[in-house]
Amino acid sequence: MEYQALYRKYRPQLFGEVVGQGHVTETLRREVAEGKVAHAYLFAGPRGTGKTTSARILAKALNCVDRSDAGEPCNVCDSCVAVTAGTSMDVVELDAASHNKVEDVRDIRVSVSTVASVGGAKRVFILDEAHMLTKAAGNALLKTLEEPPEHVHFVLATTEPYKLLDTIRSRSQRFDFQPLSIEVLATHLETICDLEGFEVEAGSLLVVARHAMGSARDALSLLEQVAALGSGSVDDAGVRRALGLAGRDAYLRIANAIAANDAPDGLRLVAELAGSGVDLRQFVGDAISFFRGVFLTQYGQDIELVVDEPPDVVKDWRTVGGVLEPAQVLRAIDLLSEALLKLREGREERLMLELSMLKLTRPEVSDDPAALSARIAKLEQATPHAGAQKVQEAEAVADRDQGDSSGTTPVVTDPKAEGTDAPASVREADVEEAGALRTEEPTDAMELEADVSAADLEDGSPSAVPTSADLDRIWPQLVAAVRELGARREAVFRESSPDGVEGSTVVLTVPAHLEFHLEQLTSDKELRTFVTDRASALLGSLVEVEFRIA
């Protein structure tokens, strides 16, 4: 027997066998059973979702001589066998892409007037890709579509129903076929693998189903390709080799490279992907989808109800969402989308991806507004260190001159040891500058020194027990201080908020849906030590810091 592709071999032959379109098949089956079949149907939906298949089953059911009470065809009688084989004289299937002229519609009108091959039978015209009809051809079909003979039924199938004339849509009973979910597709593929005897590795069918984008026909074609590569075995590595897909860790590496401004690692990733035969255009598209998921987790709750992805993928999104700022995620989507457009124009794939990776990991090389914002944020992170150092130097000068003016005996030092032999006029200028700095709005460093001395805390000198009001007062300074530890830690710490003070314990809470952030805060010893020390200094009392779920 001649070999048949899987999608042809396992094409549904009953309404109940159509996968994932129960809202359509159940309605059609009942209409057939009750004898209330419309004269014209419009089947709309993405490719590979069962539009033409459902039309053939409908034609088969209408002409079946031994139809069940539920409206299902028997698939045994001569009429059913002829429809299945495509040789029935009463089922006319036309491709509107090649029969889209007025002359072709006239031929259809002539055929409509022809009686069925068997007395009492129905003639069914299936017009595939109906949106390809020209306006003139569509107008020529209107009258026949509106008032066909009693024994004639039309089924128009299209992936783009908005291109059809409004007058055609209004004369048809419309059914919308939905893309199949990943779980439904994976279950269907598992059934086919059992029938074919394929050895399947857990999780590999989910990758095939996700890549099929809701199309059952595409999923079966991909499964056939993967099984041929693996000699009847379907595993994760074989799926990625056959489809040119990158592993999940590749997207996590991009996120880490962006967070650490690690351009070399980003470029190494591109080289590894190109060397392993990954389809770079497909990779860019998948990376856009990945960062879209990250963006959704940063701004939405119960994201599992919104997206059709497995839990492990959503977990990766949440992990990256805790590392990158929302602005960085949006910028990644913009730059990768721009690269994908250039790739579709025929640009050199590896070069375009390398340029995008360089712009993502080194914002300073780009002149777009998002890159400028990133540069400003980087400068702001460095500013507190420089400001604190300048204040300390100015205060040292002021203290020295204050000692001179109070009549105390200054310590005589060797000018050479100081590194300069500055005259009195210069020293007076230094004092004036220090005075100006002190009269300006206090910085974090000045407020820190004004609140409490670190030495006093170490000596255990008595101080007032901090209150929740004190914690709220010093909270902005504490958040600003964490910036010294880097953007990633600052982003995680900003998700916490002051809840109160319990004795000598400062309680900071994290929203319930941010369990990943709580884990990061509690496991980062360096961050906890820094926050504890800085909170103690700002509050003027030795305290402990505890992170909790709100």
Do 192 and 277 share a domain, yes or no? no
In a domain, 387, yes or no: yes
Instruction: Give the structural domain span for 525.
Output: 455-549
User: 191-218, pLDDT tens digit by residue?
Assistant: 999 999 888 887 888 889 888 888 999 9
User: Does residue 39 share a domain with residue 15?
Assistant: yes
Do 45 and 77 belong together in one domain? Answer: yes
**pLDDT at res. 271:** 93
Domain assignment of residue 448, yes or no = no
Same domain for 13 and 81, yes or no, is yes
pLDDT score, position 388: 47
Q: Is the pLDDT of residue 52 over 90?
A: yes
Structurally, the chain folds into a number of domains equal to: 5
Percentage with pLDDT > 70 across the chain: 81
Supply the pLDDT for residue 370.
Answer: 64
Predicted local confidence at residue 305, as pLDDT: 75
In this structure, the answer to whether residues 257 and 354 fall within a common structural domain is yes
Contacting residues for 412 by C-beta, under 8 A, at least 6 apart: none
**Which tens digit of pLDDT belongs to each residue from 404-431?**
544 444 444 444 444 444 444 434 444 3
Residue-level pLDDT at 416: 40
pLDDT interval class at 31 (50, 70, 90)? very high
User: What are the tens digits of pLDDT across the range 369-408?
Assistant: 766 666 666 566 555 544 445 445 555 554 555 555 444 4
Round the average pLDDT of the chain to a whole number and report it: 81
Specify if 411 maps to a domain: no
List the Cα angle 38/39/44 in 5-degree steps: 75
Q: Is residue 410 domain-resident?
A: no
Q: Which of residues 243, 261, 296 is at a domain's end?
A: 243
Q: How far apart are CA 234 and CA 297, in angstroms?
A: 32
Q: Is the pLDDT of residue 5 over 80?
A: yes
Q: Does residue 482 lie within any of the structural domains?
A: yes
What is the CATH classification number for the domain harbouring 268? 1.20.272.10
Question: CA–CA separation, 506 vs 249, rounded Å?
Answer: 37
- Given a cut of 80, whether residue 90 has pLDDT beyond it is yes
* CA nearest to 51, candidates 19, 6, 9, 97: 19
Residues 347 and 374 in one domain: no
Do 41 and 165 have their domain in common? yes
Shared-domain flag, residues 71 and 59: yes
The pLDDT of 332-355, averaged and rounded, is: 90
- Cβ proximity of 499 and 532 under 8 Å: no
Which whole number is the average pLDDT over 148-166? 90
Tokens 């779980």 appear where?
A: 183
152 and 232, same domain (yes or no): no
Domain boundary among 317, 351, 366: 366
pLDDT score of 446: 43
Tokens of 154: 């039309």
Domain annotation covers residue 485:
yes
